[in-house]
Homo-oligomer: A and B are copies of this chain.
Amino acid sequence: MAQQGGSSTLRILVATDCHLGYLEKDEERRFDSFDTFEEICSLAEKHKVDFLLLGGDLFHENKPSNSTLVKTIEILRRYCMNDRPVKFQVISDQAAGSLRNRVGQVNYEDSNYSIGLPIFAIHGSHDGPTGVDNMSSNDILSAGNFLNYFGKTDLGCTGVGKTTVCPIFIIKGQTYVALYGLGNIRDERLNIMLNEPHAVNWMLPEIRDEIDWFNILVLHQKRKKASPSNGVSELLLPRFLDLVIWGHEHECLIDPEEVSGMGFHVTQPGSSIATSLINSEAKAKHVLLLEIKGTQYRPTKIPLQSVRPFEYVEVVLEDQVDVDPSDEATIHAYLHRIVSNLIEKVRETAASGSEPKLPLVRIKRLNCSSGGFYSGFSTINSKQFGQKYVGKVANPQDILLFTKSGKRCKNTQESPNSSGEVDTNDLNQQTIEALISETNLQSEILHLNDLNSALHDFVNNDDKTAFHSCLKQSIDEARNKLTTATEDSTNIEEQQIACSLDQNVQAPGKETILLTHALSVLESDDEPVEYSDQEEMSSSSHQAAGRKRRAASGGGGGGSAASAAGRRKTDLALFQRAPSKEDDADAAKQRRAPVAPGRYGAVIRRR
């Protein structure tokens, strides 16, 4: 694949969210993250890239176990240490400001090492700096000269903080690339910083007439277009960028999309391993081969072969003719039939030859609600159900996931949607914040701080009405805003929530699920008014939610409670570079040109 390109073509393999060490204590899945990382390294070798670029969360933990560190280092040694010549150049005095090591030197320039495959990496949300001396696990690899860690900012603890983002200047022949890195910062904080005029200081390459720099930013944040309080909008990024590589989001949206009016493209490679059994993670995983020549680039997505097969389906038992709600045996039979089919499907598509990995299987069971949970069906014990599949699937303990989604009844098949789904395994380990981040939930109405304090009250103060109060208050607030909104909107769903909420107040254990559901219902109405075209929405759940709404309810779009609520906190108009709708319309014509793989896409230049 694409071995052409002379000495001026810089070839980069881009991957992100490898989560090394994920489930390292799981007998079946413990090697998954390493297998795929090894595949990524071997792809880098096979495609003879100049370097490997990692977009954060290389490790699943900031303090990886000794075993994870050893396995990682062994892979790095196998693929990075060789005498293949490195054919690009980094202007070293510039690197000193951006590289996280004592010498301020890229690793392959140390004459005591033979490094044939350099790696550049930022930290993510899992492996970010913390603890004594604020060290990331990437600092260990950087100290050991295994990779070039950049994009680490020291913001201090108080105030908004300021940071200077120094690019790494990479030169290969006539190609000049300025590589900006921004390791994960708490989303809220970064949003505030990006909204303040000089809090983020982007260092620009020296402007010379003969040099036209190609500017890449790699960052690791929650991605959200119109919700500055819970995700970073690409509209807040500087316009001089040419390509943004977005880490953290696990869904593979790897084909670069243009952000209209901003003049740059965004690629979201997605994780190389599924850490949540949700729909967006069931998509095929890819890495991106990026070839840059001058100011043009060609993206080629490469599917990852080593990823454990993962089959995800959503079922509405009420829709099935052969399922009798009052007869548990029929439900069991139906669900077992589905699992067997999925296993069979995986077996058929598996490459012949090598022993295929046991698949991950997740059946999300949606119910037509008419009041309580699981509307008449007895609750099936998920662990018992899975016992039959020990040795046949990789996750027998949590094949089934129950959720409640009144709205989706009848249309489920057409709208597989990751929103509103919470992996029950994670519930006891995570904060609301993490939970929402993992599942790409959006909470324009319910604010994190409120949720967190409700959680605190619920757990520590034994306040069983904490969530109820929080939710009620937020909905009231949003409803008030709604009355001032320009378009009449669908209050029905919100009333539904309020209703079911009242019914369920007595069951505090289920409140979390309810809450999540409430969020998912709310967010399907969240579509920002600024965007008129479906293509413009690259945020996974946004996109899915948007499509679904059109398909299902066939209308009712436009202004909504959420976008109104979203504006409450941060007015986009305040940001100097926020694009206007006119920008959007103008840019729409040239959109998607560079997405097509295999051809060089022209980047709109602004100099």
Contacts and interface: CB of A to CB of B under 8 A. Distances in A.
A211 interface: no
Nearest to A137: B66
Copies of this chain, tallied across the complex: 2
Interface stretch (A77-85, A236-244, A505-513, A580-588): A77-85
A131 B66 CA distance: 8
Interface residues of A, number: 35
A174 interface: no
A132 B143 CA distance: 24
Interface in A59-112: 62-63, 65-70, 73-74, 77, 81-83, 102, 110-112
A113 interface: yes
Contacts of A70: 133, 135, 139-140, 143
From A70, A73, A112, A115, residue with most partner B Cβ within 10 Å = A70
A111 B114 contact: yes
A447 to B, nearest CB: 33
A271 interface: no
A145 interface: yes
A24 B132 contact: yes
Given A143-B73, A144-B73, A145-B77, A132 B67 contact: yes
Contacts of A81: 110, 112-113
Interface in A1-18: none
A146 interface: yes
A111 B82 CA distance: 9
A66 B145 contact: no
A136 interface: yes
A264 B458 CA distance: 68
Contacts of A131: 65-67
A136 B66 contact: yes
Nearest to A64: B66
A25 interface: yes
A110 to B, nearest CB: 8
Interface of A: 24-25, 62-63, 65-70, 73-74, 77, 81-83, 102, 110-115, 131-133, 135-137, 139-140, 143-146
